[in-house]
Chain A
Amino acid sequence: MSTTSNMNLTLKVWKQKNKDTKGKFETYNAKGISPDMSFLEMFDVVNEGLISDGKEPIAFDHDCREGICGMCSMYINGRPHGPKQGVTTCQLHMRSFKDGDTIVVEPWRSAAFPVIKDLAVDRSSFDRIMAAGGFVSVNTGNAKDANNILIPKPEADEAFEAAACIGCGACVAACKNSSAMLFVSAKVSQLALLPQGKIEAQQRVWDMVHQMDEEGFGNCTNTGACEAECPKSISLENIARMNREYLISTAISKK
């Protein structure tokens, strides 16, 4: 355990009953917070205090608490997942804050991510985009031998980097236009870069982009905020690839 002294913090947290009601900020005191706690553990402490006082705890999403599930959607002090780069909220530690700080915590704000309760948002719009085209069609039967389709290492690496996307929605939250293009482009790219995915690439990009538009996400203006805030450092190159694939798909379609 660390010997540095514990901190007292003020939290300004968004409280909202459900997607149909208007939310508002409420202030909480977080007392005796260890700098070694994760941001979510700090919330656990605050919630335990609220529960023991007979008050309603703050609702927030979390699952793996090791930076791979993408659930911990908190917009902290004006940035998704807080002040550090390349981390999710569960990987953010309280040593990033100082004793006496006021921390503003909001949910992802996007028409396509309605608030379920407080800080928990409904990201099923991402699931519907995936269902529209984020897959490859394969025959059932025995599994094929590994590596029977040779893939150049650099391409495999690029596809892997795109596939690192955990669908957390920080790109949408960071974007001033609430655009989902970094997410969709990563999903388009991870498949389009590999031979198994190339076969359906044209139809896929069309279907996924149109589902994205239908969900009510905004339009990309290339500010690069998504790339800067992405916990998995997904590159803007993917957005260019998606644009390119979409333009070519439109240009050469027979309909």
Chain B
Amino acid sequence: MSNSGFLKSSIGKKFLMGITGLFLISFLIVHCFVNALIFINDGGHTFDLGCEFMGTNWIIRAMEIVLFAGIILHIFQALILTLDNRKARPIQYDSYDGAANSKWYSRWMGLLGTLILMFLIIHLSHFWIVSRFTNHLAHTKEHALPGQETMFDEMKETFENLWVVILYSLSMVSLGYHLLHGFQSAFQTLGLNHKKYTPLIKKIGVAFSIIVPLIFALMPISIYMEWIK
């Protein structure tokens, strides 16, 4: 019993997947909450204030580094586990009836995750890179220099394009299915299974996997449909 072998063990690797997964879920809550400020529909004023807080608060900025580390670790562990699992079955079955014993999205977590990663790269290039590495955005309208816009303006411009709206909406379907398995699976991996609480965790997981991606998807849709101005 030593700690050195822990991260090399199957349960150790699973533990890292689960704990980073739960951390990324906690990020989704914050991200969803701040972005949902656009639904106040006050021309982006409250939303821009939210963005200013997220962009200037040092705790949030420090957590941004932890977040990227979490995403990379989650992906890295997934790759290691997938390669391990491939090795564990060198010859595949000729006939395989997975649908008889498991949900399709639990078997396709890797594919769903890859779709989310592709979306994430596009999403970061739309907003995060613009706000961090260019001088294009001001925090609020009052502080805007000539030629500068706020994050809300950037959002409105991005979501004028129908293809972007469709891409974002479909990506949220991938996220929803990924969460549908991932949420309750993370608890199981951490050993948090209990006759009384597990049914509750599963219900919360289903609600979370529907509500959060739905709110996210409604953002580009509402802007495109001009429900939010």
Q: Residues of A with Cβ closer than 8 Å to B?
A: 12, 14, 23, 25, 75, 77-79, 83, 104, 106, 109-112, 174, 176-179, 181, 202-203, 206, 209-210, 212-213, 216-225, 228-229, 236-237, 239-247, 249-250, 253-255
Contacts and interface: CB of A to CB of B under 8 A. Distances in A.
B56 interface: no
A240 B191 contact: yes
A176 B9 CA distance: 19
A38 B70 CA distance: 52
B191 A177 contact: no
Contacts of B107: 176, 223
B14 A243 contact: yes
Contact of A243 (B15, B93, B97, B100): B15
B85 A78 contact: no
B191 A253 contact: no
B102 A224 contact: yes
Tell me whether chain B's interface is mostly helix, strand or loop, or mixed: helix
A104 B97 CA distance: 12
Interface residues of B, number: 45
Nearest to B80: A219
A218 B88 contact: yes
A255 B185 CA distance: 30
Contact of A253 (B2, B87, B88, B103): B2
Interface of B: 1-3, 5-6, 8-15, 81, 84-85, 87-98, 100-103, 106-107, 109, 181, 184-185, 188-193, 195
Nearest to A237: B193
Given A218-B85, A225-B98, A243-B14, A109 B188 contact: no
B106 A78 contact: no
Contacts of B190: 243-244, 247
A117 B114 CA distance: 39
Given A222-B181, A250-B3, A244 B97 contact: no
A177 B101 CA distance: 14
A244 B191 contact: yes
B89 A178 contact: yes
Contacts of A223: 101-103, 106-107, 181
Contact of A247 (B85, B92, B97, B191): B191
B191 A209 contact: no
Contact of B1 (A224, A225, A229, A255): A255
Top 7 closest A-B pairs, CB basis?
A244-B191, A78-B97, A240-B193, A218-B88, A253-B1, A228-B101, A177-B85
10 contacts: A77-B95, A77-B97, A78-B96, A179-B85, A179-B88, A224-B102, A228-B101, A247-B15, A247-B191, A255-B2
